[in-house]
Amino acid sequence: MLGAFANAFRTPDLRKKLLFVLGIIVVFRFGSQFPAPGVHTANVQTCIDQVENNSVYNLINLFSGGALLQLTVFALGIMPYITASIILQLLVVVIPRLEALKKEGQAGQTKITQYTRYLTLALALLQGTGIVALARSRQLLQGCELPLLHNEKSISTFLVMVLTMTAGTVVIMWLGELITDRGVGNGMSILIFVQVVATFPGALWSVQRGQGWLTFAIVMIVGLALVAAVIFIEQAQRRIPVQYARRMVGRKMFGGSSTYIPLKVNQAGIIPVIFASSLMYLPAMAVQFNANRDPQPKWLDFINTYLVDGSHPLYMAIYFLLIIFFTYFYVSITFDTHEVADNMKKYGGFIPGIRAGKPTEDYLSYVLSRITFPGALYLGLISLVPLIAFAVINASQNFPFGGTSILIMVGVALDTVKQIESQLQQRNYEGFLR
């Protein structure tokens, strides 16, 4: 491993790429710590220390590396871009125009990327307005009545903060694209990875400070076992063999080769967890926005009792079932078995023992549904780890090993290492993975 790192930095062009990525990360983290204009930093820090658990914004705060609740320049983080990308992926299936663009290749993908940027800007403006409005009304950190802004009544302060956070999101999007173009790995994924890892030391130390060294040691052992399990499942795949028939084109013979279609156990990635988490935050937000109503309606009491507390069995069950549902839903719209079977038939490919056309489509659908089930169970169980930890050891719901954070860290790390590995192998060096 150390030799592979030495080889990576010994190669001039690869070293330049890695140093460029590290430089972007430094700029990114600086913006995540620099407060936006008009923020009362001392009061914000005091409120964060008082309010240890604010489940309504846990997901967004995780993707911002803790910058959201501190109201920094990069407070919105990468979340608007993630949301815009997911929306565009769903709209490609629904809107024929977008589907046609997707089939146009690189030119169509460039246009879809441009639409994603516009939607990211709109979502950042919307989310920034909501976050600053909650900060003005002192509802961002419930349980703390200190003013979070120097001049809460000023419209100019409100507009400057919203524009600053929106501009911060645009800069983050630009930094991510720079990493993709001139660095190593996917830029947006690396920035998400950096933000998640940034919260890791603080989350671990809070477990030690609140529960002691014994619980901290148990958490570390369980965490390492979970990382090993996630790596194993993320690498697992079902390879469907594909044979291409030999065919004559002019005077040349083509085809006759064999390959395979890799179907990952976790074909959906982290998207189902994000969908389910977003839906489970809606009841908590409803409670927050109706907290001042007197008397409290009965439906609000029901939501507050069963659908806000992450340690409640009903909350866990609904969360688990939502993840399973969204896993099947997302896989069905991202892996089109009809299109795959049609392309195989067009180029003379077939699965041994399966006829081309509709039988191939049915076979792929059957295998995909069978392999998606353990993938959905895996996502659901991993996502329940922080909730179970909250119930058992009273740890924060931002439990370091589990849920969204561990899936992001392992997935992005494996992808980046594979890309460095491929570049090392091109230069006849032995890589990380042997």
Let me know if residue 407 belongs to a domain. Answer: no
Tell me the average pLDDT across 309-334: 83
Residues 196 and 188: their CA atoms lie apart, in Å, by 12
Tell whether 186 and 261 lie within a shared domain.
no
For residue 172, what are the domain limits? 1-198
The pLDDT tens digits for 183-211 are 888 888 888 888 888 877 777 777 777 77
Domain boundary among 136, 167, 198: 198
Tell whether 210 and 345 lie within a shared domain.
yes
Tell whether 103 and 248 lie within a shared domain.
no
pLDDT band at residue 55, thresholds of 50, 70 and 90?
Answer: very low
pLDDT at residue number 50: 65
Residues 239 and 261: their CA atoms lie apart, in Å, by 6
Let me know if residue 425 belongs to a domain. Answer: no
Let me know if residue 421 belongs to a domain. Answer: no
Residues 292 and 204: their CA atoms lie apart, in Å, by 35
Written as six digits, the tokens of 179 are: 């990493």
36-45, 293-302, 311-320, 412-421: range with lowest mean pLDDT: 293-302
Distances (CA, A) of 328 to 12, 85, 310, 324, 340: 44, 19, 24, 7, 18
Tell whether 65 and 49 lie within a shared domain.
yes
Other Cβ atoms less than 10 A from the Cβ of 313: the count is 11
How many distinct structural domains can be found in the chain? 2
Q: Would you say 384 and 319 are in contact if contact means Cβ atoms under 8 Å apart?
A: yes
pLDDT at residue number 131: 85
Residues 140 and 134: their CA atoms lie apart, in Å, by 5
pLDDT at residue number 150: 81
Let me know if residue 418 belongs to a domain. Answer: no
The pLDDT tens digits for 383-415 are 887 767 656 655 554 456 666 778 888 888 888
Say which CATH number the domain at 257 has.
Answer: 1.10.3370.10
Tell me the average pLDDT across 271-281: 79
The better pLDDT of the pair 208, 20 is held by 20
Is the peptide bond between 295 and the residue preceding it cis, with omega within 30 degrees of 0? yes
pLDDT at residue number 125: 92
Mean pLDDT estimate for the chain: 79
Let me know if residue 386 belongs to a domain. Answer: yes
pLDDT at residue number 434: 55
Tell whether 254 and 267 lie within a shared domain.
yes
Tell whether 171 and 227 lie within a shared domain.
no
pLDDT at residue number 295: 65
pLDDT at residue number 231: 86
Let me know if residue 406 belongs to a domain. Answer: no
Residue 17 has pLDDT above 80, yes or no: yes
